[in-house]
Chain A
Amino acid sequence: MSVLDNTTVLLGEELRTEFRSRELLTTTVIFVLMVLVLFSFTLDPAAEPTAAESRRFSPGLLWLAFLFAASLMLQPCFLREQVNDTLSALRLSVSDPFAIFVAKVVANTLFLLLTELLLLPIFAVLYNVAVKSVFPQLLFVFLLGSLGISTAGTALSAISAQARMRELMLPLLLLPLMTPVLVVSKEVTAGLLDPNPFMRWKGVAFLAIFDLVFLTALWLFGEYLLEE
């Protein structure tokens, strides 16, 4: 079987596991919603949540919420395999371990993207920002940002699953590593939420480079992450 066939089968398995229970998606969506509500308390209540103030703060809050959500959502990614002792079987079943990572990265990106899409209308209402006219562009930025988070996050979840205090280790490893994604995604999103929306192409290119760097690293070093 080629790497592509392997990946497709594994991806199907990942998606089936999740959509059978939808546990991960439900909890993540609720978590992000909670964070967004709690974040609103850090803003000044006297100043009406004017569009201008929302535009200034909300893109950063939104991406921070996504990042926190990802650091929880990526937890079970490898932990599940370890608890059920399925990692060895998984490794034996593929010709190239990169297929395991591609399947998991694609699945995690999809889950994260789905969470983001479900929350976007609620976010737009709560924080009073216009998203309809720039929806395709926003989707594109969400995709690039989520791909970056999932790529590095999947690799780190393979590491943290083998450590003590693993629930704490993953955010600890992931959050500082995600600084560039947070900074740039936030800037690009802020550009799109502007009254005269514009695309920061330099930021988009930067995100694409980030994704490429970590995908390449995963391709080169992924097999070592799964050693026993």
Chain B
Amino acid sequence: MVKHVLVASVVVLLIGAAAYAAFYVAPTEATMGTIQRIFYLHVPSAWTGLTSFFICFVANLAYVLRREPRWDWLGVAAAEVGLTFTTVVLVTGPIWAHPVWGIWWTWDARLTSTFVLWLLYVAYLLLRSMLEDPDKRALLSALFGIFAFLDVPLVYGSIRWWRTQHPQPVILGGADSGLQPTMRWVLLFSWVAMLALMTLLLRQRYRLEAMRGEVEMVMREAEAV
């Protein structure tokens, strides 16, 4: 218990420090002004969401090959946590876009593929709720999770090559793209804080799912008797 409180406090401190850095340490962006500071919430959330979905994919693969319930628990935990972070991305994106681009939404590659990604994992969770038998639920949802993750680069590629007129990526975008050094440090620090939050949430959600799995097992045994 003490350990949990301690870990949670560290995460809260990290997130607080990241927020402080985003507001007071990072310089104000020249053209966009203060609104650009949402960047330090938006981009790390996106990266963290993707990290979480990747963990979900690994857990799905591991479940299909090993058939140990703990991989199923990790899978559902990672999908939910990833979905949470992706929701943050989809909400902060329009808030940032409206004053800067003059519109709430544009159908460009990253926005659209993030949205499709979000829909895919919502479908994953819905599918889980529609499968009664725990073993079947674990296996079939893991298989769908694998298909969904394989689809992600294809969704991104198809939209990027055929449907976009978007601002070039700022990071890894080309020769003259790049961030001012302080901004880069604040961004990376925010990402570390987000990853810490992700780990904490994953852990808690995993434990909850493990307990739920145990209850389910006991109930089944009781029914059998």
Contacts and interface: CB of A to CB of B under 8 A. Distances in A.
A177 B157 contact: no
A162 B136 contact: yes
B119 interface: yes
A25 to B, nearest CB: 27
Given A162-B136, A224-B64, A176 B120 contact: yes
Tell me which of B120, B123, B146, B163 has the highest count of chain A C-beta atoms within 10 A of its own C-beta.
B123
A183 B64 contact: no
Interface string B117-134: 001100100110011100
B131 A164 contact: yes
A202 to B, nearest CB: 7
Given A165-B130, A176-B116, A221-B64, A183 B159 contact: yes
A187 B162 CA distance: 7
Determine chain A's interface SS by DSSP, over half rule.
helix
A160 B141 CA distance: 10
Interface stretch (B16-24, B36-44, B147-155, B184-192): B147-155
A227 B142 CA distance: 13
Tell me which of B116, B130, B157, B163 has the highest count of chain A C-beta atoms within 10 A of its own C-beta.
B130
A180 B162 CA distance: 10
A113 interface: no
Contacts of B159: 179, 183
Interface of B: 64, 116, 119-120, 123, 126-127, 130-132, 136, 139-140, 143-144, 146-148, 150-151, 154-155, 157-159, 161-163
14 contacts: A159-B127, A160-B127, A162-B136, A169-B130, A177-B151, A179-B116, A179-B155, A183-B163, A184-B162, A202-B161, A210-B154, A214-B147, A221-B143, A227-B139
Interface of A: 152, 155-156, 159-160, 162-166, 169, 172-173, 176-177, 179-180, 183-184, 187, 202-203, 206, 209-210, 213-214, 217, 221, 224-225, 227
8 shortest interchain CB distances as A-B pairs: A180-B158, A163-B130, A180-B154, A183-B158, A176-B119, A164-B130, A187-B162, A159-B140
